[in-house]
Amino acid sequence: MHTPTALLLELGIILAALSVLGALARRFALSPVPLYLVAGLALGEGGLAPVPAAREFVDTGASIGVILLLLILGLDFTVREFTASLRRHRPSAAVDLVLNAAPGAVAGWLLGLDAVGTMALAGATYVSSSGIVARLLGDLRRLGNRETPAVLSVLVVEDFAMAGFLPLLAVTAAGGTWWQALLAVLVAAAAVAGAITGSYRWGHHVGRVMSHPDPEQLLLRILGITLIVAALAELIHVSAAVGAFLIGLSLTGEAADRARGVLAPLRDLFAAVFFLALGMSVDPGDLLPMLPAATALAVVGATTKVAAGWYAAAREGAGRRGRLRAGTALIARGEFSVVIIGLAGTADQRLGALVTSYVMLLAVCGPVLTRFTPTRPAVARPAQGPPASHGPASAVRQ
């Protein structure tokens, strides 16, 4: 089998460049996500050094990257912990929806967009990037923080909301009738309810099937089943990332620890490719025309996300620092916002340029703001006592 030389060369240069950027970010105790995004901007179409031969691999790797990010994130929680957190954060999800969809709807009205364009812009300003936030929580070692269940609950509710919103937007943009749109939403809602119920009741069986003492077998089983579930989730218009997250929830204890060990290197590789691909999807020429409007919308969007995260973390019992960390963690927008504009298919070019600029601003600035939010002071641990429990339930109020 012959492998194109251009593909090998471009991939080699990309990975070497990502290594340098990652090392630079770690040197200054930063997340490498913003640097990966900017690198993607330079390597995409219209950038300084396009990489056409590697583009297909990068796009495929990006899809795997977000799946692995959410899979490993799910390994840090249990189904019971997370479903309890989801029930507790229904008001948080409502606040998040109102605060963050409203700026997009108002901006669409001010710009004179049609109903489809306004609805698409509202969705783009509403939903955070699960992939970016998941990576940030791991990079900044905040998975055990008191506010983290609140952040994850808001993220997963947003992804579930997209399961209903995307079919609705697609039918509306295609000129479908109201009953066709309603039917699409009902089918998606039923699929989401079935996925949650199945994970809650039978998830432990999945864990038993995937567990194996041999690391190679463990890796192949977990990755294979996760990709199958992710594909099925996409088939019923539920985010593949949500399907991967549910698989992660089904593994607990020693099985979860061993799974993290074998999956971590793959996660790091494909997560870097995911952020690179997100940057490559943006044409730098699209950023300039709508940059003033996008900056104003980004400032409003960052503020409303901080408010929504603050409220959600307060319901989790987090202190002021934890509430601020939760809010800034949710700022980044990403993959879903880009998908929404693609589905809208609007003839108004301003919408695509506005959302592209908006997503890039918050995808870069969000992680930086998150990094520099206050962290908790060191807490001395007692010399004796029972070991801490697994997952967020063991976190100390901050």
So what's the pLDDT on residue 282? Answer: 73
So what's the pLDDT on residue 312? Answer: 92
So what's the pLDDT on residue 104? Answer: 93
So what's the pLDDT on residue 297? Answer: 94
Going residue by residue through the chain, which has 398 residues, state the pLDDT in tens, using 9 for 90 and above: 566 888 889 899 999 999 999 888 878 767 788 888 888 888 887 778 888 888 888 989 988 988 888 888 778 767 676 677 778 888 999 999 999 999 999 999 998 888 888 998 999 999 998 878 888 888 888 888 888 888 988 988 887 787 778 777 877 777 766 777 777 677 767 766 666 676 667 666 666 777 778 888 888 988 998 899 888 877 766 667 777 877 887 777 777 888 888 898 998 899 889 888 878 877 777 777 788 999 999 999 999 999 999 999 998 888 899 999 999 999 988 777 877 877 675 556 678 788 888 888 898 888 888 888 876 543 433 443 433 333 443 343 34
Which class is domain 11-374? mainly alpha
In single-letter form, the type of residue at position 314 comes to A
Q: Rounded to whole angstroms, how far apart are CA atoms 15 and 138?
A: 21
Between CA 372 and CA 383, with CA 378 as vertex, the angle to 5 degrees is 155
Structural contact between residues 375 and 329, judged by C-beta atoms closer than 8 angstroms: no
CA distances for 385 relative to 85, 278, 300, 389, 393, angstroms: 27, 46, 46, 12, 17
Torsion angle, alpha carbons of 242, 245, 246, 251, to 10: 170
In single-letter form, the type of residue at position 239 comes to S
Q: So where are the chain's domains?
A: 11-374
So what's the pLDDT on residue 195? Answer: 63
So what's the pLDDT on residue 301? Answer: 94
So what's the pLDDT on residue 238? Answer: 64
Q: Rounded to whole angstroms, how far apart are CA atoms 155 and 93?
A: 9
Q: Rounded to whole angstroms, how far apart are CA atoms 169 and 12?
A: 39
Query: Could you give the angle at which helices 33-43 and 349-371 cross, rounded to 10 degrees?
Result: 150
- Tokens 């992804």 correspond to what residue? 159
Structural contact between residues 225 and 247, judged by C-beta atoms closer than 8 angstroms: yes
Q: Rounded to whole angstroms, how far apart are CA atoms 300 and 26?
A: 30
So what's the pLDDT on residue 1? Answer: 58
So what's the pLDDT on residue 188? Answer: 67
In single-letter form, the type of residue at position 21 comes to L
CA distances for 69 relative to 34, 72, 89, 117, 305, angstroms: 17, 6, 22, 31, 22
So what's the pLDDT on residue 310? Answer: 95
Q: Rounded to whole angstroms, how far apart are CA atoms 215 and 183?
A: 44
| Tokens coding 357 | 């600029």
- Dihedral sign for Cα 79, 146, 397, 333, please: negative
Three-state SS across the chain? Answer: CCCCHHHHHHHHHHHHHHHHHHHHHHHCCCCCHHHHHHHHHHHCCCCCCCCHHHHHHHHHHHHHHHHHHHHHHHCCCCHHHHHHHHHHCHHHHHHHHHHHHHHHHHHHHHCCCCHHHHHHHHHHHHCCCHHHHHHHHHHCCCCCCCCHHHHHHHHHHHHHHHHHHHHHHHHHHCCCCHHHHHHHHHHHHHHHHHHHHHHHHHHHHHHHHHCCCCHHHHHHHHHHHHHHHHHHHHHCCCCHHHHHHHHHHHCCHHHHHHHHHHHHHHHHHHHHHHHHHHHHCCCHHHHCCCHHHHHHHHHHHHHHHHHHHHHHHHHCCCCHHHHHHHHHHCCCCCHHHHHHHHHHCCCCHHHHHHHHHHHHHHHHHHHHHHHCCCCCCCCCCCCCCCCCCCCHHHCCCC
- Dihedral sign for Cα 293, 92, 135, 83, please: negative
